[in-house]
Amino acid sequence: MPTLTNSYDNCQLLNVGDGPQGRGPFLIRQQGSAPGSTTLDQMRYFLRKDGTWVLGLAVYILSDAEQEKNFLYPTSADATNLLSSLTGDPVVDDTLPPDKSAEELMRAAEKTITGLWGHLNRMES
């Protein structure tokens, strides 16, 4: 079971495809468990522009503006430059909003047709 890393080899660079001629913006995601996790649950994480891996469930409920500001990279070079600058153990934020359970967030994310969740659903279908 993979643990999150800052290695490019363990990440996916995804072209959201809303930009000119279908190029960009981009996001970086990774499937794995947070370092030091005792449950080893394999979850989806997105790389925030400050270099922090954020639990996907917490990202999906953000407004479109917050998602774009913090998780969407205008070019693939912007995304890969950030990823290649990360060293050492990954910084991970796997906290959920205090008033929501993981199940509630998953249901809310599945109903959302905008933002990252909507883009990913269109890409994967």
**Per residue in 81-96, pLDDT tens?**
999 999 999 999 988 8
Task: Check whether 125 has a pLDDT greater than 60.
Answer: no
Cβ-contact 43, 55 below 8 angstroms = yes
Cβ atoms within 10 Å of 92's Cβ, excluding its own: 19
Task: Check whether 115 has a pLDDT greater than 70.
Answer: no
CA diameter of the chain: 44
Q: Which residue has better confidence, 78 or 118?
A: 78
Question: SS3 of 107, please?
Answer: helix
**Per residue in 5-61, pLDDT tens?**
999 999 999 998 766 777 889 999 999 998 888 777 888 999 999 999 999 888 887
Average pLDDT, the chain: 84
Distance CA 16, CA 29 (A): 12
Single-letter residue type at 75: T
Domain boundaries along the sequence of the chain:
8-124
- 9: exposed, middle or buried (C-beta count within 10 Å: 0-12, 13-18, 19+)? exposed
